[in-house]
A and B are shown apart, each in its own frame.
Chain A
Amino acid sequence: MTLTLRDPNEVMRLKRLGSTFPTRLSFQRVLLRRLAAEGSVVSRPVWEISDEGFGRAVYSVDLGGYTYSLVAFSNPLDPENRTDRVIANAWDTTYVLFDGTPTTADLDRLQQNAPKQEAGRFEPTEIVLCRANKSVRLFAHVVDALKAGKQPDPALITSTGYLMRTTAVYGNGKFGIADRKRIADRPGMGGPFMAEMLAVWLVRGFTHDLAEHMGGAKMSRELKKRLGIGNSTGLGMAPFLVSHPVLLHHWFETREIALARVVGIGQLSNEQAQRYADLCIRAQKHLQQWHVPDPIHQTRNEAVATGWTELTQSWTAETWSAPNATLNFLEASRRFNEDIQELAVSLLLEPMGDLIDDLAANLASDTPLSLDAAMDVSDLKAIIEARAAWALDTDFNAAAETAQFWYVSQSKLEPRLGNRAEEDGAELESPLDIARRIKDLYADLQGTSGSVAGFLMRHPEHRFVLRRVQTLGANAYSELRDNLISDRCMPIDMLRAKLAFFGASKFDPKSDRWTRINLCQGAPLFDELENADDWWLPVFEERA
């Protein structure tokens, strides 16, 4: 059967990317299913934490025949130094995902380096480097409640959703840690960001243990499940989507193939129909529990909840039992905005693990960008005309279309976005102006003939974008099909897409280029992996 995928011109627009929801193919879900399938067990061989909550700990888990250990360090931090920005140089907690079981000498070495993060140096035995800061109010509340012999306030736990926020999670050779090559071929580690997802899940467990240790009592299991691990993310994450076009294609194409499989089902079973009806209600409750401080985004969340109610109110188990229900639901969602449409996609995938979980194997790609120098320039022009109208249709002489520029700051090599008319540095802008480069390439291709090889010898300045255009010809979802330097570009849309693919929920934007999110909220605890896969858009009772 031929699957018809959604058009990349529709899927890869920033506004739609900014409406992405996590799915069962999100990386955290994929990882936890794998751990569950292997019957993995988390142990805690080291716990050297003071009553005040400072010291070090180690958690170990086996995956795919290898042992991985999270090494955690907890240190005092003055409040004035607590920032989620990459400009920080001290954190409440710092971590390394270690390949194997660390010796005492390893721990001593890491204790000298992990708290320094970017200023430290690391060995190939270290796979991931990260840090997390306390959500001060909730952490203190939980510890104080436990010390008082009480359970923490469920409402406060649900509204905050985590005890700590990670502020950077580094992999792939950064600061001397292992190149991805070391683990890429290992069972369970081949998928995108698997090591990072493992580290984050283990960090979440550490935050629970730390609070309980300091409080001197256990939290209820139900309350702990509400506590995911936060993340605070800024512009640093956005360029990744541009600099990894083949990987981007794999992520989106995989999801779209999954969707096509699901909407191709003619008739659901009664059990499947009931499951869809139940999940519609769960999503509704989740939206009602998704509160953010920013009034604009809170209004948007409320609009999503309203729209979702309107879309799903007639979708009972009986409706889902009608022929072509999944296709009809997707079509029905098109009457609403991108938020509702993408939530509908996420819902449609959720109950269909047997049909789509195998696709997770397609999410990764380490394929580099090759160049077909033998291609005729006429074929290159044809690719641009067929797949890059979004670039050709842009008037880059209009100030609005070049209003912003991406750059890297000198001080801490932090990606930033500047206003071209008001700020210096545009001559050093980072190469995220893909649309403009494609249009420039297309202009210089006019009147030329022969091979790409000859063209590139005369125009080496186009080599970068030409390679991307050829990649786009073979990988339809490889480009964000918008102008990333226009005044309309909001990086938060890119952040949300990437984070949703990680499995994040409860997006809490702080600006158009900065967001907090929650990972692993509702996810299984260390000893719950046998029931690991039913936490899509989790909902919680008001009282635990």
Chain B
Amino acid sequence: MFSVNELQGALLKAGRGAGLPLGLAEDLAFCAPDIAIADTNGILAEVVACMNCPFDPATADLSGQGVVMGQGNLLLTMPSALDLVAAGNGPVILDGVSKDLANALIAGRERIDGKALWFDWIGPTKVILHGWKSEAFAPPSQPERVSVDPIHWSALQAFAANTYVPESEESRLAGAGAGLTDND
């Protein structure tokens, strides 16, 4: 069992280590409380799958009424879709997406922005984001513990390890700026 902050830190570091742009890794980490109160391990399986896919910038077709997001990595397309809705470009349609991960990403954004999104699932993998509601929004409270499958935790840690620098004896001695014993 982990604290929510541990999950949040793991998502942020794993995102960075996987190559997700830092600001989007932050968006993912913001969702930790919402991942914790949902189907945690199902969502983390989707997260890990996304982290193994390319992080090409999201695309969108703005030629018709509303916006249709291009197929792509949900860790990029959903934040971009939510941005477009916030900027008044809605409704925005995403198709071929994982419902649980999409819902968690939406919930995380709602939590940060303090307002609720008006959206509808029109199929198992297709969602329409209509716009942001104006009334006050109270996010669900976060749990104190979150149970994470060791397989997913290890996968997140493996991505995170891509950001760590192997140490040399020189860096061990000098990098932190202190001596190694303090018997004074």
Interface residues of A (CB under 8 A from B): 79-80, 82-87, 124, 133, 135-137, 165, 172-182, 232, 234-235, 368-374, 407-411, 413-418, 423-425, 428, 430-431, 451-454, 456-467, 491, 510-514
Q: Mark B1-27, 1 if CB is under 8 A from A, else 0.
A: 111111010000000000001111011
Q: A135-B184, A466-B23 are in contact. Are A410 and B57 (CB under 8 A)?
A: no
The answer to whether A409 and B171 have CB atoms under 8 Å apart is: yes
Partner of A463, one of B24, B170, B178: B24
Using A178-B3, A457-B59 as known contacts, list a sample of 6 further A-B pairs with CB atoms less than 8 Å apart, ordered by residue number in A: A80-B181, A83-B181, A176-B1, A179-B142, A410-B161, A425-B165
Q: Which of chain A's residues have a CB closer than 8 A to the CB of B49?
A: none
The answer to whether B21 and A463 have CB atoms under 8 Å apart is: yes
The answer to whether B21 and A457 have CB atoms under 8 Å apart is: no
Cβ of B113 within 8 Å of any chain A Cβ, yes or no, is yes
Cβ of B86 within 8 Å of any chain A Cβ, yes or no, is yes
The answer to whether B86 and A374 have CB atoms under 8 Å apart is: yes
Q: Which of chain B's residues have a CB closer than 8 A to the CB of A417?
A: 175, 177
Q: Which of chain B's residues have a CB closer than 8 A to the CB of A463?
A: 21-24, 26-27, 79
Q: Which of chain A's residues have a CB closer than 8 A to the CB of B126?
A: none
Instruction: Report the Cα distance A176→B6, complex, angstroms.
Output: 7
Q: How far is the CB of A410 from chain B (nearest CB, A)?
A: 4
Q: How far is the CB of B72 from chain A (nearest CB, A)?
A: 10
Q: A135-B184, A451-B87, A453-B80 are in contact. Are A428 and B167 (CB under 8 A)?
A: no
Instruction: Report the Cα distance A512→B112, complex, angstroms.
Output: 37
Q: A373-B84, A411-B172 are in contact. Are A234 and B165 (CB under 8 A)?
A: no
Cβ of B152 within 8 Å of any chain A Cβ, yes or no, is no
- For chain B, which range describes its interface: under 10, 10 to 19, 20 to 34, or 35 or more residues? 35 or more
16 cross-chain CB contacts under 8 A: A79-B183, A83-B180, A85-B178, A173-B8, A176-B2, A176-B3, A181-B142, A368-B111, A373-B84, A408-B163, A409-B164, A409-B171, A415-B176, A418-B171, A456-B83, A511-B177
Partner of B87, one of A172, A415, A452: A452
The answer to whether A460 and B60 have CB atoms under 8 Å apart is: no
Partner of A409, one of B21, B82, B175, B183: B175
Q: Mark B71-91, 1 if CB is under 8 A from A, else 0.
A: 000001001101110111100
Q: How far is the CB of B79 from chain A (nearest CB, A)?
A: 8
Q: How far is the CB of B127 from chain A (nearest CB, A)?
A: 18
Q: Which of chain A's residues have a CB closer than 8 A to the CB of B184?
A: 135-137
The answer to whether A374 and B180 have CB atoms under 8 Å apart is: no
Partner of A457, one of B30, B58, B170, B176: B58
The answer to whether A464 and B30 have CB atoms under 8 Å apart is: no
Q: Name the residue on A nearest B16 (C-beta).
A: A431
The answer to whether B2 and A410 have CB atoms under 8 Å apart is: no
The interface centre, meaning the residue of B5, B80, B86, B182 with most chain A CB atoms within 10 A of its CB, is B182
Instruction: Report the Cα distance A418→B8, complex, angstroms.
Output: 27
In terms of DSSP, what is the predominant structure of the interface of chain A? mixed
The answer to whether B3 and A179 have CB atoms under 8 Å apart is: yes
Q: Which of chain B's residues have a CB closer than 8 A to the CB of A413?
A: 164
Q: Which of chain B's residues have a CB closer than 8 A to the CB of A232?
A: 178, 182
Instruction: Report the Cα distance A458→B58, complex, angstroms.
Output: 7
The answer to whether A136 and B2 have CB atoms under 8 Å apart is: no
Q: Name the residue on B nearest A372 (C-beta).
A: B86
Q: How far is the CB of A306 from chain B (nearest CB, A)?
A: 28
Q: A232-B182, A370-B112, A462-B23 are in contact. Are A172 and B84 (CB under 8 A)?
A: no
Q: Which of chain A's residues have a CB closer than 8 A to the CB of B170?
A: 423
Instruction: Report the Cα distance A468→B22, complex, angstroms.
Output: 12
Instruction: Report the Cα distance A462→B23, complex, angstroms.
Output: 7
The answer to whether A461 and B180 have CB atoms under 8 Å apart is: no
The answer to whether A82 and B182 have CB atoms under 8 Å apart is: yes
Cβ of B145 within 8 Å of any chain A Cβ, yes or no, is yes
Q: Which of chain A's residues have a CB closer than 8 A to the CB of B61?
A: none
The answer to whether B181 and A82 have CB atoms under 8 Å apart is: yes
The answer to whether B177 and A124 have CB atoms under 8 Å apart is: no
Cβ of B140 within 8 Å of any chain A Cβ, yes or no, is no
Q: Name the residue on B nearest A293 (C-beta).
A: B184
Q: How far is the CB of A489 from chain B (nearest CB, A)?
A: 13
The answer to whether A180 and B22 have CB atoms under 8 Å apart is: no
Cβ of B39 within 8 Å of any chain A Cβ, yes or no, is no
The answer to whether A428 and B82 have CB atoms under 8 Å apart is: no
Q: Name the residue on B nearest A425 (C-beta).
A: B165
The answer to whether B80 and A467 have CB atoms under 8 Å apart is: no
The answer to whether B80 and A464 have CB atoms under 8 Å apart is: no
The answer to whether B87 and A467 have CB atoms under 8 Å apart is: no
Cβ of B124 within 8 Å of any chain A Cβ, yes or no, is no
Question: When A and B form their complex, which 4 residue pairs have the shortest distance between CB atoms, in order from nearest?
Answer: A463-B23, A173-B5, A416-B175, A173-B3
Cβ of B179 within 8 Å of any chain A Cβ, yes or no, is yes
The answer to whether B164 and A369 have CB atoms under 8 Å apart is: no
The answer to whether A408 and B164 have CB atoms under 8 Å apart is: yes
Q: Which of chain B's residues have a CB closer than 8 A to the CB of A180?
A: 5
Q: Which of chain B's residues have a CB closer than 8 A to the CB of A136?
A: 183-184
Q: Which of chain B's residues have a CB closer than 8 A to the CB of A182?
A: 144
Q: Which of chain A's residues have a CB closer than 8 A to the CB of B163?
A: 408, 428, 430
Q: A124-B3, A177-B3, A368-B30 are in contact. Are A374 and B87 (CB under 8 A)?
A: yes
Q: Which of chain A's residues have a CB closer than 8 A to the CB of B123?
A: none
Cβ of B166 within 8 Å of any chain A Cβ, yes or no, is yes
Q: How far is the CB of A433 from chain B (nearest CB, A)?
A: 11
Q: How far is the CB of B71 from chain A (nearest CB, A)?
A: 14
Q: How far is the CB of B161 from chain A (nearest CB, A)?
A: 7
Instruction: Report the Cα distance A165→B164, complex, angstroms.
Output: 28
Instruction: Report the Cα distance A150→B5, complex, angstroms.
Output: 49
Q: Which of chain A's residues have a CB closer than 8 A to the CB of B83?
A: 371, 373, 452-453, 456-457
Interface residues of B in 104-162 (CB under 8 A from A): 111-114, 142, 144-145, 161-162
Q: Name the residue on B nearest A456 (C-beta).
A: B83
